[in-house]
């Protein structure tokens, strides 16, 4: 457990918030960076490095407030990583640290191993540890099928008799735990993994979570927020569950018929005055919730139909674009908050979905090679600032790596390195029924134009991730196909 030491506090804060992050008071301990700064690159890095033309901040206000102080402190800790190479990593041909593939692989295998007693705070989040680690490993091109049996066994202890998965043995079923469990099983794949899921009971659990106002609660008696809407639709789609609500559902009792009743309308209510999307109507716009909202709408229908129908696109686009921070190049989760590596995915992953929504012939293809954001700046941020010295990826310099940030930094790296197209007519070999929309994506690499100033070599590349399911390319289709061929539950 050497690489996971001492990060209990940070990690548990992460897990408490499950999907969202960065709303804790930032404490830049600097411990790791200061200790590990012994090795410097032999010559001034700026001579070898692709020019960092974003370093200047041409516009700055003088008024000092808590937010600006925190931002300045944070940037001071980050800058050495943007302009130099404090950890002495080997550099790629653009003068940027190489992806430390083997170190990250070792870190994630380790993250699937045993944890010491102080990790009891993660008791309810073991399904997440499995998902983050397995997804991260596949991103790094590791074959994880050897884990299949152990994954299946581990989740068999988390499955609740009334349906759904909890965080562990005897814990109540929870939509986040169910999402992490189903995705993990989809990643390792295979009949024994699929068959261990009690789909009929899962359908009943989903029915229990569906609320009369259209949204989903996370657990029985739990909070209703947009994570619920996204997690539920991912599970229903992958497991090919009936769309009809089971008779026990509170929404069914009210008279609703399907899981989709009032759902996109509920999602729509989460768009805030800023243009971004919040956890529930009235709350603050936030990057992780934006991904949940876009993902949910892209499961329900084609992006070019559902996104403009339920969201106001220009303010959403403006808000999303504003989340990329300069000069860091990564993403922040909210206006005037700090950059954090996990948003490499939560915000970085929104782009494929929104770009697909804008590329319909009716709304004009987006210019600049169908790219609305700065891929190179994100890659630079991840490779230069988010790689831990001993493996694993992190929130930002000064923080310890953990499985959560490793998974979502790598997913963000994938989003920056690969291009997607949405092909409504794509023949997937799957049924053309409802909830088939998320299977129409294709990879369109190779058309990288001038706008994508590359800062990575081939050996820095990670695998293509499914833009909605966030699992390795091809795995979601296999699971869906398996359950389409299966009669009944």
Partner 1 sequence: MSKYSDDPAWSDIVPLPQDDGGPNPLAAIAYKDEYSEAMSYLRAVMAENEMSERVLGLTEHIISMNPAHYTVWLYRAKCLFTLSSDLKAEIAWLNPTALKHLKNYQIWHHRQTIIEKLDSADGEVTFISSMLEADSKNYHVWSYRQWLVRRFDLWHEGELEAVEGMLKEDVRNNSAWNHRWFVVFGNEKMEGVDDGVLEREMDYAKAAIYMTPQNQSPWNYLRGLLRYAKLPASTLKEFALEFASPEKPDEVHSSHALDLLADIYAEEENKKEAEKALDLLAKRFDPIRANYWNYRKSLLELPAAAS
Active site residues: 286, 334, 337, 340, 342-343, 395, 402, 405
Instruction: Candidates 76-84, 215-223, 339-347, 408-416: pick the segment binding partner 1 (CB under 8 A).
Output: 215-223
CA distance 462 to 413: 7
Closest CB to partner 1 among residues 70, 243: 70
Instruction: Give the β-pairing of 441-443 and 420-422.
Output: antiparallel
Taking CB under 8 A as the criterion, which residues in 300-329 touch partner 1?
Answer: 312, 314-315, 317-319, 321-322, 324-327, 329
Residue 199 CB neighbours (<10 A): 19
Interface size with partner 1, residues (CB under 8 A): 101
CA distance 301 to 400: 39
Q: Under the criterion CB under 8 A, does residue 223 sit at the interface with partner 1?
A: yes
CB of 156 to partner 1, least distance (A): 6
Token pair for 465: 């991730």
Closest CB to partner 1 among residues 403, 462: 403
CA distance 136 to 138: 6
CB of 439 to partner 1, least distance (A): 28
Closest CB to partner 1 among residues 5, 368: 368
CA distance 204 to 200: 7
Instruction: Candidates 35-43, 163-171, 419-427, 457-465: pick the segment binding partner 1 (CB under 8 A).
Output: 163-171
Closest CB to partner 1 among residues 29, 326: 326
Helix (H) / strand (E) containing 200: helix 199-209
Q: Under the criterion CB under 8 A, does residue 213 sit at the interface with partner 1?
A: no
Q: Give the residue among 476, 486, 366 at the shortest CA–CA distance from 421.
A: 366
Taking CB under 8 A as the criterion, which residues in 43-72 touch partner 1?
Answer: 53-54, 58-61, 63, 65-68
Q: Under the criterion CB under 8 A, does residue 272 sit at the interface with partner 1?
A: yes
Taking CB under 8 A as the criterion, which residues in 245-264 touch partner 1?
Answer: none
Residue among 84, 284, 431, 461 that touches partner 1 (CB under 8 A): 284
Q: Are 334 and 340 in contact (CB under 8 A)?
A: no
Closest CB to partner 1 among residues 123, 431: 123
Closest CB to partner 1 among residues 99, 124: 124
Residue among 81, 94, 155, 310 that touches partner 1 (CB under 8 A): 155
Provide φ and ψ at 282, rounded to 5°: 100, -20
Q: Under the criterion CB under 8 A, does residue 335 sit at the interface with partner 1?
A: yes
Which residue bears the tokens 């790689």? 387
Residue among 45, 158, 353, 379 that touches partner 1 (CB under 8 A): 158
Residues in CB range of 455: below 8 A, 6 or more apart:
50, 92, 94, 96, 376, 379, 380, 383
Token pair for 113: 């191993």
Alpha helices in 301-341 (DSSP H): 303-310, 313-322
CA angle 321, 324, 327 (to 5 degrees): 135
Q: Under the criterion CB under 8 A, does residue 282 sit at the interface with partner 1?
A: yes
CA distance 294 to 24: 25
Q: 46, exposed or middle or buried, with CB in 10 Å at 0-12, 13-18, 19+?
A: exposed
The per-residue b/e assignment along 151-186, b for 16 or more CB within 10 angstroms, e otherwise, is bbebbeebbbeebbbbbbeebebbbbbbbbbbbbbb
Closest CB to partner 1 among residues 147, 439: 147
Helix (H) / strand (E) containing 288: helix 287-300
Closest CB to partner 1 among residues 223, 459: 223
Pattern 4-23, binding to partner 1, x per CB under 8 A? Answer: --------xx-xxxx-x--x
Taking CB under 8 A as the criterion, which residues in 382-441 touch partner 1?
Answer: none
CB of 283 to partner 1, least distance (A): 5
Helix (H) / strand (E) containing 111: helix 101-111
Residue among 219, 307, 339, 347 that touches partner 1 (CB under 8 A): 219
Taking CB under 8 A as the criterion, which residues in 123-142 touch partner 1?
Answer: 123-126, 129-130, 133
CB of 53 to partner 1, least distance (A): 7
For 143, half-sphere exposure in the C-beta direction (CA atoms, 13 angstrom radius) is: 2
Residue among 6, 31, 157, 253 that touches partner 1 (CB under 8 A): 157
Q: Under the criterion CB under 8 A, does residue 2 sit at the interface with partner 1?
A: no
Q: Under the criterion CB under 8 A, does residue 147 sit at the interface with partner 1?
A: yes
Instruction: Candidates 75-83, 153-161, 249-257, 421-429: pick the segment binding partner 1 (CB under 8 A).
Output: 153-161
Closest CB to partner 1 among residues 371, 448: 371
């Amino acid at each position: 457990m050497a690489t996971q030491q001492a990060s209990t506090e940070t990690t548990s804060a992460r897990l408490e918030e499950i999907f969202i992050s960065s709303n804790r008071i930032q404490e830049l301990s600097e411990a790791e960076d200061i200790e590990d700064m012994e090795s410097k690159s032999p010559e001034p890095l700026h001579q070898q490095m692709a020019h960092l033309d974003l370093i200047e901040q041409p516009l700055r206000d003088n008024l000092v407030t808590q937010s600006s102080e925190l931002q300045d402190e944070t940037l001071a800790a980050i800058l050495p990583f943007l302009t130099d190479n404090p950890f002495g990593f080997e550099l790629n041909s653009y003068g940027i640290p190489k992806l430390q593939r083997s170190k990250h692989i070792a870190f994630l295998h380790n993250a699937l191993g045993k944890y010491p007693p102080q990790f009891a705070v993660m008791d309810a989040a073991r399904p997440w540890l499995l998902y983050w680690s397995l997804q991260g490993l596949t991103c790094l091109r590791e074959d994880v099928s050897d884990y299949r049996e152990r994954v299946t066994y581990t989740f068999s202890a988390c499955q609740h008799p009334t349906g759904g998965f909890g965080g562990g043995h005897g814990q109540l079923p929870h939509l986040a735990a169910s999402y992490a469990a189903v995705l993990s099983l989809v990643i390792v794949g295979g009949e024994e993994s699929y068959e261990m899921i009690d789909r009929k009971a899962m359908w009943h659990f989903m029915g229990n979570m569906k609320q009369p106002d259209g949204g989903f609660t996370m657990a029985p008696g739990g909070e209703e927020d947009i994570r619920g809407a996204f997690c539920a639709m991912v599970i229903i789609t992958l497991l090919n569950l009936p769309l009809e609500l089971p008779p026990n559902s509170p929404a069914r009792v009210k008279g609703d018929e399907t899981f989709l009743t009032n759902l996109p309308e509920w999602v729509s209510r989460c768009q805030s005055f800023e243009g971004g999307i919040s956890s529930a109507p009235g709350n603050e716009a936030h990057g992780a919730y934006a991904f949940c909202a876009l993902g949910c709408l892209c499961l329900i229908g084609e992006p070019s139909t559902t996104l403009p129908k339920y969201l106001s696109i220009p303010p959403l686009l403006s808000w999303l674009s504003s989340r990329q921070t300069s000069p860091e190049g990564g993403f922040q989760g909210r206006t005037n908050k700090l950059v954090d590596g996990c948003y490499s995915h939560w915000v970085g992953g929104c782009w494929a979905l929104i770009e697909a929504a804008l590329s319909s012939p009716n709304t004009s293809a987006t210019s600049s090679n169908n790219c609305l954001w700065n891929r190179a700046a994100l890659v630079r941020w991840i490779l230069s600032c988010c790689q831990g010295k001993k493996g694993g990826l992190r929130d930002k310099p000064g923080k310890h790596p953990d499985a959560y940030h490793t998974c979502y930094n790598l997913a963000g790296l994938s989003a920056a390195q690969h291009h997607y197209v949405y092909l409504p007519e794509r023949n997937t070999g799957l049924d053309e029924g409802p909830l088939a929309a998320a299977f129409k994506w294709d990879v369109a690499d190779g058309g990288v134009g001038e706008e994508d100033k590359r800062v990575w070599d081939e050996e820095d590349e990670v695998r293509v991730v499914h833009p909605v399911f966030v699992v390795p390319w091809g795995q979601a289709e296999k699971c869906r196909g398996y359950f389409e061929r299966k009669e009944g539950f």
